[in-house]
Each structure stands twice: as C-alpha cells, then as structure tokens.
Amino acid sequence: MAGRIKIGISSCLLGHPVRYDGEDRRDRALIDALGKYFQLIPVCPEVEYGLPVPREPMRLTGSPASPRLVAVMTGVDHTDGMLQWIAEKIESLSGENLCGFIFKSRSPSCSVGGVEVYSPSGGGNSKTAGIFSRAFMMHFPMIPVEEEAGLYNARARDKFIKGVIDFSRKERRARG
Ligand code: SF4
C-alpha cells in the first residue's frame, strides 16, 4: 500500500455502513478497478462530524450559494457544527497528499453537484454541491474529483484517472 497514489472516497462507497439508514453503498466494481492501483482514503462527513448511525436523512435548504444542512423530519440545523468540522478536516487532509476524490452522488454532504436545495416551504428547484464536497473543491481546486456515478462512463473514468496521475506527478515534482 505504501507509495500508492492516494484518492479520497466517500466511506459508504468503500462498504462502510455509515449511511443514514445504516446501510452502505459499496461499489465493488469501482473498488476492484481502482483499489488495486490507488490507496483509497475513506471520509464520511456526517459520521465523522458526530452524527449517529442510523440517523435522520439530511437535506440542503436556503441559498444554493451557501445552503444549510438540515435534518429532514426534525428540522435540526447542523450547518454550523458541520462547517467547523469541515474546516478541521480540510486542514488534516492537507497533509494527506490526496490526488483525487470520489464522492457519493446525490448526497447533501458529498455530492459534486446536482443536489436539490429546498426552500423553507419545502419545494426544491435549485441544485448545488454537498456541503463537504463544496468546501473540498473550493480548498483544493486542482485536485480531480468525480462521483461514483460518473465513473461508470469509461471516458470519464479514464479522464479522472489521468487527472489523478498527472496531479500526483506535478505534486511530486513540486515537492522535489
Ligand atoms: S454519502 Fe457521504 S455523508 Fe452520506 S454516508 Fe456516504 S460518506 Fe457519509
């Protein structure tokens, strides 16, 4: 494992039972294809922030530019605590030398885009990225990211892998 290029991955895709319903979303094809060549570093924002398993599902509300992360049934707003955790996690990930990240699609915490943002009245008509993935992409704009759903497309998967390898080479050259 030592020396392999590191890619972050939403923990549920790696088979960790961390979803709100206690399930995982293990993606065997993805793990088999990429796990042989890369070191996959799992991150589950919601559980690492401190939410239990199982838990209420979350959704994004308010402004697409700065959405709130809110529990669907009770309306508990986790945004401030989550943003604090995210700032600390980003700091620690800065030392991990990640060269890519595979995010879970359709997640209010992890998705790269396409997550519904609901208005206070309950309607959803805007879309954005998850609260953690958004911060990750803003802090590490050059690190290639993709959702597992996007990687089912061979061309997108090849592009992602090439981007990861190119980024790794650049980083190694920069570090001397
Ligand atoms: S999508 Fe993200 S927050 Fe949700 S269970 Fe998977 S890793 Fe955790």
The tens digit of pLDDT for each residue in 158-167 reads: 999 999 999 9
Decide if pLDDT at 32 tops 60: yes
* Residue-level pLDDT at 84: 98
Tokens found for residue 9: 């991955």
Measured from the CB, is residue 58 less than 6 Å from ligand 1?
no
Measured from the CB, is residue 8 less than 6 Å from ligand 1?
no
* Rounded mean pLDDT, 33-50: 96
Query: Do 27 and 13 form a contact (C-beta atoms < 8 A)?
Result: yes
Identify which of 164, 161, 114, 157 has the alpha carbon closest to the alpha carbon of residue 134: 114
* Residue-level pLDDT at 2: 60
The minimum-distance atom of ligand 1 relative to the CA of 19 is: 5
The three-class DSSP label of residue 5 is: strand
Provide CB contacts within 8 A for 163, sequence distance 6+: 100, 144
Confidence grade of residue 1 (pLDDT, cut at 50, 70, 90):
low
Max CA distance (Å), the chain: 54
Q: What percent of the chain has pLDDT over 70?
A: 97
* Alpha helical stretches, state H, the chain: 28-35, 45-49, 79-93, 131-139, 154-175
* Rounded mean pLDDT, 115-127: 82
**What are the two backbone dihedrals, phi and then psi, of residue 91, each rounded to the nearest 5 degrees?**
-60, -45
Measured from the CB, is residue 107 less than 6 Å from ligand 1?
yes
Decide if pLDDT at 123 tops 80: no
* Residue-level pLDDT at 70: 96
Measured from the CB, is residue 18 less than 6 Å from ligand 1?
yes
Measured from the CB, is residue 89 less than 6 Å from ligand 1?
no
* Rounded mean pLDDT, 72-76: 95
Residue nearest to atom 8 of ligand 1 (CA): 44
The minimum-distance atom of ligand 1 relative to the CA of 107 is: 1
DSSP for 80-104? Answer: HHHHHHHHHHHHHHTTTTEEEEEEP
Tokens found for residue 34: 């990429």
Measured from the CB, is residue 112 less than 6 Å from ligand 1?
no
Scan for tokens 């570090």, then name that residue: 175
pTM, two decimals, is 0.95
Q: How does strand 98-103 pair with strand 68-71? A: unpaired
Q: How does strand 58-61 pair with strand 115-118? A: parallel
Residue nearest to atom 5 of ligand 1 (CA): 19
User: Which residues are paired to 103 by β-bridges?
Assistant: 147
* Residue-level pLDDT at 125: 75
Q: What percent of the chain has pLDDT over 90?
A: 88
**Ligand 1 centroid to residue 174 C-alpha, Å:** 32
DSSP for 104-123? Answer: PTT-TTT-SS-EEEE-TTS-
Confidence grade of residue 3 (pLDDT, cut at 50, 70, 90):
confident
